[in-house]
Structure 1
């Protein structure tokens, strides 16, 4: 697995890929969270290059506008809107979603890219551990709140072109099991890396659960692993890892490639609930017997529903 996550794995696999048509996303509007830098900014650039209009969801407007300007410098005709939305703040998620429903006619894609890796256990104003709120609860709520727009972006007369929701997970999720017994990480010694891995595992399972839940709405849901990419988050939170693996790290464009492909390619529009890496479905477990028990999966769904309340 390790060489495959590196720049070398990407270069070897991408040599056989076909280029997506330049107009693949023309007429489609896609929202990207955590898009003020790193993988999020690269995802925005990849989407607008294929003709999409993009909603950039950011916590800091100034940083978001700076990222938008960098993308516009390379793609001056791109249609990009910067919107403030803190995924860890459920009230702010509701506020943004209400505004989006007033402004937009339809939403054809949603990329859950926002991520955090805190050094110490931190609670949001709503009382949730920061990784859980940012990676799981916020995306769950945002998806539900934007469902009217996603339905509008999935017309029944175009069954092969549904609106697509994509979770940007991590290979770190392979090191974690689905923990619904202590989702807020209140027990034991807190580890930012462990909290990150746990919630990235939750994202993959949640994508599968949402795929089933939204099938009737015609919305496809997927999760993906970007490989080891040289992002500001890695530099700031994992400096030792970056020093060791630096020459092997992917560029942010390489890391974002599959997220863009999942929004534009034909194959992901014909299935749902799949975990992808480098444009290929991958197993969510490599060890036998690692699959989540039905009661654990049901526990994750109940956790999300109880935390976000009625929508």
Structure 2
């Protein structure tokens, strides 16, 4: 019997941690793609405390840097020949304008561009598995704004719009994966689990501004346990959720701009050109 392998980004805190702790008995091996290796080591110990028979590997990956994603993918491809389930979980909310090291708006880089590249690089391993599953953690915040050019380096910054568009990008990515690879057995799901409330991004602006932004986001906040259950439902029921977008575990019809095929095509094509790759 082939060893079952889960790979997950952003596993050391919040939703990612809550999710992976619940999956210790679902997979034989878990790959933790994380930026903070100390937190990764502590999480590994916690996972092994729950299941001593589990294999846990830590792979350094900064989901805001394209070079880090390339290095992480190379490490994984050198060590493994398949991945049964890839969970693109890592994401940020930034209340102030910031750029990634590659010059992109930071939320678009971290929440969309780097996960897109990672998925592209690891997809051959996913397709070489028995399960063939990709879960994209999106957000109901995609409803905040339709996609608009320039996609990756906007001239004006809005925390709400920027976050919403990065999560709309996630949704488009999941749709693209389903459209291109479902007939080959790939099961792709976009999940809105809700956001786990943190202080992320609040330190860069005044408390008044930050509190106002997070008040607007408040309807999307959930507990770690609530959010994890949404992702777990998709992991454990791949056929039920394949090709769909779900909000808190319920399959949901997306808003009009979330199902804009023409804009999705333009956005995906621009992504491929930006990353200098041929296809997702």
The residue number in structure 2 matching 1:120 is 96
Distance 1:300 1:273 in 2: 19
Whether contact under 8 Å (1:39, 1:231) holds in the other structure is no
Q: List aligned pairs for 1:198-277, cutoff 5 A.
A: 198-231=165-198, 233=200, 250-265=222-237, 268-269=238-239, 272-277=242-247
Distance 1:302 1:270 in 2: 29
Q: TM-score, normalised by structure 2?
A: 0.85
Unaligned segments of structure 1, at least 5 residues: 1-25, 155-161
The residue number in structure 1 matching 2:75 is 99
The residue number in structure 2 matching 1:134 is 110
Distance 2:217 2:124 in 1: 43
The residue number in structure 1 matching 2:154 is 186
Q: Which moved more, 1:116-125 or 1:296-305?
A: 116-125
Q: List aligned pairs for 1:1-311, cutoff 5 A.
A: 27-154=3-130, 162-179=131-148, 181-188=149-156, 190-231=157-198, 233=200, 250-265=222-237, 268-269=238-239, 272-285=242-255, 289-290=256-257, 292-310=259-277
Q: How many residues align?
A: 271
Partner secondary structure for residue 235 of structure 2: helix
Unaligned segments of structure 2, at least 5 residues: 205-209
Whether contact under 8 Å (2:143, 2:258) holds in the other structure is no
Whether contact under 8 Å (2:140, 2:194) holds in the other structure is yes
Whether contact under 8 Å (2:171, 2:258) holds in the other structure is no
Runs of 4+ in structure 1 off by over 6 angstroms are: 234-238, 240-246
Which protein has greater RCO, CA pairs closer than 8 Å, 6+ apart?
A: 1
What is the Cα deviation at residue 227 of structure 1? 2.6
